[in-house]
Amino acid sequence: MRSKSLLASLGLALILPCVLGGCLPPSKDWTHPRIADPRKEDKQFMEDTQFCKDKLGPQGGEAAQKPAMDECYRRLGWQRKD
């Protein structure tokens, strides 16, 4: 009985962070000085990310795309967090 309880607790301890982690917005290295509300900023960042990806099109992988994405964010008014 004790082993079932321990196994259930261990399973819950492993699954709970995964479930809760999916509820949080992805962290970002960018901030927008004209958007004060964090939720609106997150929403705008997701929209701008999609805009930049659509604008750039397929390139040679994530490493080649990063400088172009950074420039796109800057043109849209985003600044890197310190």
pLDDT digits over 33-65, tens only? 999 999 999 999 999 999 999 998 887 677 778
pTM for this model (two decimals): 0.64
Neighbours of 78 (CB within 10 A): 23
Across the range 10-29, mean pLDDT stands at: 60
**Between residues 49 and 14, which one has the greater pLDDT?**
49
- Pick 76 or 26 by higher pLDDT: 76
Is the torsion defined by CA of 38, 42, 47, 51 positive or negative?
A: positive
- How far apart, in whole angstroms, are the C-alpha atoms of residue 82 and residue 30? 9
- Count of domains for the chain: 1
45: nearest Cα among 3, 10, 73, 24: 73
- Structural domain boundaries, residue 16: 2-80
